[in-house]
Amino acid sequence: MKRVYLFCNAGMSTSLLASKMQEVATQYNLPIEVKAFSDSKMEDIVSQFNPDVILLGPQVKYLEKETKAKYEPNTPVEVINLEDYGKVNGERVLKFAISLIKNKGKG
């Protein structure tokens, strides 16, 4: 089971996107768990569950450099595309997350 974890300010706005992504994963029978959390819980969540990918909501883009420094190269860290985020495009964001998992360690 691969874990794709989304982080934003309160975890609320990304919860809808995470559930859309989980719907797509379930529809295609993919062994992926998608969850959303508040960025304030990131350290605890990451140390406890070791996600395969960390995606940041656009509103916490300012955390990207610090988060990458802390968790990469073991765990890819990227900011969710603003357009996909705004449209709650679970399929596109899930495909993006899967591509990060596949390319992990190749960069």
Q: What is the pLDDT of residue 71?
A: 97
pLDDT in tens, 9-45: 986 779 999 999 999 999 999 999 999 999 999 999 9
pLDDT higher at 104 or 48: 48
At 11 the pLDDT is 65
The one catalytic residue in 6, 8, 56, 77 is 8
Q: What is the pLDDT of residue 104?
A: 83
**Scanning the structure block, which residue is given the tokens 């919860």?**
15
Is the model's pLDDT at 106 over the cut of 90?
Answer: no
Q: Are 15 and 64 in contact (CB under 8 A)?
A: no
* pLDDT tens digits, one per residue of 75-101: 999 999 999 999 999 999 999 999 999
Q: Where are the domains of the chain?
A: 2-103
> Does the annotation count 8 as an active-site position?
yes
Query: Any residues with CB less than 8 A from the CB of 105 and at least 6 apart, and which?
Result: 73
**CATH of the structural domain 2-103, one choice from 1.20.58.60, 3.30.300.30, 3.40.30.10, 3.40.50.2300:** 3.40.50.2300
User: Position of tokens 């989980």?
Assistant: 22
Residue 105, pLDDT above cutoff 70 = no
Alpha carbon distance 63, 68 (integer Å): 8
